[in-house]
Structure 1
Amino acid sequence: MLLKKANQLLQQNMLKEAEFHYKTLLKSNPENGEALFGLGKIALRLERFDAAVYLLQKACERMPHMLEPLHALADAFNGVNSPKDALTVLEYAKSLANNNPEPHYYLAQHYLTHGNLNKAHTTFAHALSMGIYPVTAYILFELVQLGRFDKEHNYISNLHHLLMQTDNLRLKMVCYYALAKSYDKLEDIEQAFTYFVLANKLQRKLSNFNTQELEPFYSEIIKHNTNAFMQKRDKSFTTNITPVFIIGMPRSGSTLVEQMLASHSQFSSLGESTSISNDAVAFIEQKTGVTYPQCLAHLTPDLIKKAREMYITTLKTASPISPFIINKLPSNYLSLGLIYVLFPNAKFINLSRDFNATAFSIFTNYFAENEPYFCSLPEFKLYHKLYEKLMSHWHSFKEMPIYDVNYEALINNPKGQLTALLNFLGCQYEDGCLAFHKRTSAVTTLSKHAIRKPVNNSALTKWERYRAPLLKLLDEN
């Protein structure tokens, strides 16, 4: 009963409550593998990867034939920059259930994440040959994303067959996205748009709030980030590491800029680290007893120092530790004032892209999160306005080092744009920045397929093929 309750709390993302129940279970039975697994999953969600490795290794020892803890352990090893250990775990999981497509899917995802597209394609294809399972929808989706099909040989019949076999809304949604992308590649624009609409509508049903409900939150951020608040920063603060934050709307080129900079000899990347919100902000909220952003009014020099130390601990997980360490979580734009107070030496790179092209990319990509602005164009339009309003506020602080990069300008003149950006950061341009596609480091964003190719302009005007129906959807209420 206690385990069931803990698992329910974890599913509801009530992490503290779930953690308490799992630890209670372990007090009575330190060998409880399910409780260790639960604590390991919590550590993963909080990006406490060292703790996750420890807990999940213990869980796997106590549940040696279960796949899910092994897959979680592989994620934890990737979190501590040990992809070889992750690969070993995934290969072991596959050996345990060689006729089950699920471990093959996770292994293929590992290959895909690290840029080995040929192995990823072969492994996904092998998993598909094993029959219809819940994971089959995701296998087909990734095969479609890899794009190795044509009018004669494709996955459309597989997807239609799977749609007839399942009543699961999420699996249907994934199939709709895959069908839409299939028809898009095959130049059947009408069919593609039809399935993109179906996919978005289905995902919107899984969303439980409206973007308009965020307006008071954004207003409070602006209210509490004043000139007086910015003066709380310690102008004498120095450190050997310059934190670099890439911010902006999703699908605006943040992965491309990150990979270009990470190819420079003086840069490393944390990827999309949530350490600011999950650690620093959560710590300040806990200590002040007030939620963000109202808690900013209660910041003391001691709290600033301790919150800063928490993020420095995150910076030290970068491999290697370099003079410049990137965090490319786009939504960090919500916390720019706090970040600037914690790190007066931080640099901010704000990505922008043609609005219609951004909206099209949001509309045509599957985000696992069910936020309304990722599956409804009118909702995204409002979300984009909130972002622009907040960015205008940050730009009003002239001392805040924000550098605006336009995606289209970067694509059309990558060397010139990178040279100017690096000059802002205090570095010299290196030719390796344009060889980013040769890197084998992990890329887990939606751009993990495209980022393995050199700079190209294929995405610049793709939205225009859908201009009329796209603009009509954007104007809907």
Structure 2
Amino acid sequence: MYHKIAVKYYEKGRVLHQKGKLADAERAYKKAIKINQDFVEAHSNLGNVLLDRGRGKEAIFAYRKALKLLPDHPMLLNNLGNALQMRGENEEAINWLNEAIVQDPHYADAYSNLGNAMRGLGRFEEAIVSYQHAIKIDPRLADTYNNLGAILMERDEINDAAINFRKAIEVEPRHIEAYHGLGNALSDLGELDNAIASYHRVIEIDPGHIEAYHGLGNALNDLGELDNAIASFRQAIAIDPGFIEAYRSLARSKKFSEYDDDVRSMESLYAKERIADEPKMRLAFSLGKVFEDLREYEKAMKFIIEATHLKRASFDYSIAEDEDLFRNIKEIFSLEFFSNRIGVGHSDQTPIFILGMPRSGTSLVEQILASHPDVVGAGELSDLLDLTEKVCAADSSMKFPACISDLDSGALKNLGKEYIARIRKYSESAKYITDKMPHNFLRIGFIRAILPNAKIIHLTRDPIDNCLSIFKNYFSGGHAYSYDMTELGQYYNLYLDLMEYWKNILPGAIYDLSYEELVDDQENQIRKLLDFCNLPWDDACLDFHKTRRIVKTSSNAQVRRPMYKDSVNLWKRYEKQLEPLVRTIYG
């Protein structure tokens, strides 16, 4: 038995801990331990207080002392494993948590913490299994539902993620992170009104939640409510003036006309010495956009070049890999390939593929077509890429496009049907659904093989204007070629060569639309575009900027404006700095 004074201090520590008076609770537990060195519960609770105070290393020491006194106790094993996991020591954490489960196979918290440790190591499948086991034992674990939702978001299993966030909220109606996660999931699913409601709920519970203001701003931006989006980004910045992502979103949404407080704040933040390379790179891209808006082109390019240098230094890339890919595409999708597959594929005519290099006008053309009552604009879809990856996964030794070469007519038809089933979730009744993933130009041969009646619209643009627009924009993933002028020029030439190849072996299959001709002769070019798509004229296509729909690309602000010519021949403003790019493309 413990000394009654030690017990008194222990009970006092518990009360203080419950009241949130952590420093006082720590002192009380330590006094109990000073009187009774073998007071297991005091050591354990001291560990809990230290963990709550952010002193994980000391907490681990306290838990180890408790375990020395009471080895194999599942709660102590779990607490130690949890503390180690919170410090990123996941391998050791897993050992202790597994031991806790051995001692108590129905210990839900241990399974939940094991899921956290597995997630920390990138072992997502095992993490999901652990979370699901925890919930099966105890369906009241709100944090576990939330963590499961978060890991499903990372795996792009958005619908299932939303289900788990909602379950967390059912268990704990004021679960801030579950509401925030639900907002992100609904935003990704295109349910923007519901996403906005979720973000507002987060802010109602925690008015200082900067990520909720940022998510709210992005959702409003995707809906075209630019003024409200900008106000939300500014609110995030007001709470945290160092929140670089909010500045990036603000710069993307706003057309700058003067050197205002927003610009001053961004420059001041950029000048700070302790800013890390990654956030500095993102802010530099934003400042490049700001000063281009202000027509200070030399200063704009200075920031753009600094941004691209920082980004290019952060990864390895060789143009040779892309040269191999482009060459393999032409070898696999040969004239013989198509001659042997006449009449194959699925006959459905629903898809309209809008493709070309990024920043070539694909978002504008989709907005025009999506303004027509017979068309639903689905945005940049990964479904075609997902199908090729699914095919290639069947034989790990083969990559795209080689994995396509041996597919028979039945397999190609089934892939076409699967693609249609995937895009029909965006509309069950629309005559046409657009897919504007630009890099589908790599997969034109695959499109023709599985969906021979699908329409393909290829956006062309002045090569230097197009490359400049790519070079000055930050892409959240991929596009490794875009951060060096020489590599960008080399990749652009590969693209031009491949498009010429497609036109030669698939005559009449691709509709070329010039961005410059579209902005110069809007109505005539739109009429031709609609004719190609077998669509009757509709005045809404001329007033495309009034169409309220989701646009989740970097061009979402531009498509809310009437057509403009600002970007035509913009490269001449940077002619001297772009010399390496011009030399690479034109020789």
TM-score of the superposed pair, with normalisation by structure 1: 0.89
> Are residues 1:128 and 2:234 paired?
no
- After superposition, what is the alpha-carbon deviation per residue over 1:26-71, rounded to whole angstroms, capped at 9, x for unaligned? 2354456666556545655665543333233235556766655434
Distance 2:486 2:142 in 1: 46
Q: In structure 1, what residue type is equivalent to 2:404?
A: L
Matches within 5 A, 1:33-44: 36-37=145-146, 40=149, 44=153
For residues 17-416 of structure 1, the aligned pairs below 5 Å read: 18-30=124-136, 31=139, 36-37=145-146, 40=149, 44=153, 48-61=157-170, 69-133=178-242, 136-147=243-254, 149-163=256-270, 164=272, 166-230=274-338, 231-232=340-341, 234-235=343-344, 237-239=346-348, 241-278=349-386, 280-289=387-396, 290-319=398-427, 321-369=429-477, 371-399=479-507, 401-416=509-524
Distance 2:568 2:369 in 1: 21
Which residue of 2 is the match for residue 7 of structure 1?
119
C-alpha separation between the residues in 2 aligned to 1:338 and 1:214? Answer: 18
Q: What is the rounded CA distance, in whole Å, between the counterparts of 1:277 and 1:35 in structure 2?
A: 32
CA deviations on 1:351-391 (whole Å, 9 max, x unpaired) are 11001101111122222225332222211111111212221
| TM-superposition CA deviations, 1:412-463 (whole Å, max 9, x none) | 0111112112212222222111111112211111101111101111111222
Asked whether the 8 Å contact 1:246–1:329 carries over to 2, the reply is yes
Letter in 1 for 2:119: N
Residue 298 of structure 1: SS of its match in structure 2?
coil
Distance in 2, Cα, partners of 1:65 & 1:471:
56
Q: Which amino acid aligns with 1:110?
A: A
Is the 8 Å Cα contact of residues 350 and 403 (structure 1) preserved in structure 2?
Answer: yes
Summarize deviations over 1:187-211 as a string: whole Å, max 9, x none: 3222221111101111112233223
Structure 1 residue 247: Cα displacement:
0.8
**How far did residue 393 of structure 1 move?**
1.9
Shift of 1:472: 4.0
SS in 1 for 2:197: helix
Deviation, structure 1 residue 183: 2.3
Residue 144 of structure 1 aligns with an amino acid whose one-letter code is A
Contact 2:344/2:450 (8 A) holds in 1: no
Moved more, 214-223 or 65-74: 65-74
Q: 1:60 to 1:295 in 2, by over 3 A?
A: farther
Distance, in Å, in 1 between the alignment partners of 2:391 and 2:508 is: 22
1:105-125, CA deviations, whole angstroms, 9 ceiling, x for partnerless residues?
111111111000111122222
Q: Which residue of 1 aligns with 2:8?
A: none
Instruction: Within 5 Å, give how 1:460-475 maps onto structure 2.
Output: 460-472=568-580, 474-475=582-583
Structure having the higher Rg: 2
- CA–CA distance in 2 between the matches of 1:437 and 1:128? 29
Query: In structure 1, how many angstroms separate the alpha carbons of the residues matched to 2:260 and 2:346?
Result: 60
Q: Tell me, yes or no, if the aligned pair for 1:22 and 1:36 is still in contact at 8 Å.
A: no
When the two structures are aligned, how many residues end up with a matched partner?
A: 467
- 1:429 is aligned to 537
CA distance 1:9–1:35, change in 2 (3 Å): farther
Seen in structure 2, the aligned counterparts of structure 1 residues 222 and 261 have a Cα distance that, compared at 3 Å, is same
SS of the residue corresponding to residue 405 of structure 1 reads strand
Give me the whole-angstrom Cα distance separating, in 1, the residues matched to 2:541 and 2:160. Answer: 34
Distance 1:418 1:149 in 2: 30
Match of 1:14 in 2: none
- Measured at CA, do residues 423 and 446 of structure 1 come closer, stay the same or move farther in structure 2, by a change above 3 Å? same
Contact 1:203–1:370, Cα closer than 8 Å, also in 2 = no
291-300 or 362-371: bigger deviation:
362-371
> Does the aligned pair in 2 maintain the 1:212–1:382 contact within 8 Å?
no
| More off after superposition, 424-433 vs 205-214 | 205-214
Helix, strand or coil for the counterpart of 1:468? coil
Q: Choose between structure 1 and 2 for higher RCO, CA contacts under 8 A separated by at least 6 residues.
A: 1
What amino acid does structure 2 have at the position aligned with 1:18?
A: F
Q: What TM-score do the two structures reach when normalised by structure 2?
A: 0.74
Distance 1:358 1:435 in 2: 25
Aligned to 1:13: none
| Residues 195-234 of structure 1: CA deviation (Å, up to 9, x unaligned) | 1110111111223322332111221111111233324353
- Please say if residues 448 and 454 of structure 2, whose CA atoms lie closer than 8 Å, have aligned partners that are also in contact: yes
Mapped to 2, the partners of 1:296 and 1:263 lie a distance apart of 35
Which segment is superposed worse, 209-218 or 67-76?
A: 67-76
> 2:563 matched to which residue of 1?
455
User: SS state of the match for residue 129, structure 1?
Assistant: helix
8 A contact 2:413–2:450 mirrored in 1: yes
> Structure 1 residues 305 and 67 mapped into 2: Cα distance closer, same or farther (>3 Å)?
farther
Query: Alignment partner of 1:349: what SS?
Result: strand
- Superposition RMSD in Å: 2.6
Quick one: which amino acid aligns to residue 23 of structure 1? Answer: V
* Pair 48,468 (structure 1): closer, same or farther in 2 beyond 3 Å: same
Q: Is the 8 A contact 2:353 2:454 kept in 1?
A: yes
**Unmatched tracts of structure 2, length 5 or more:** 1-93, 95-113
Mapped partners of 1:223, 1:121: distance in 2? 49
Deviation at 1:260? 0.2
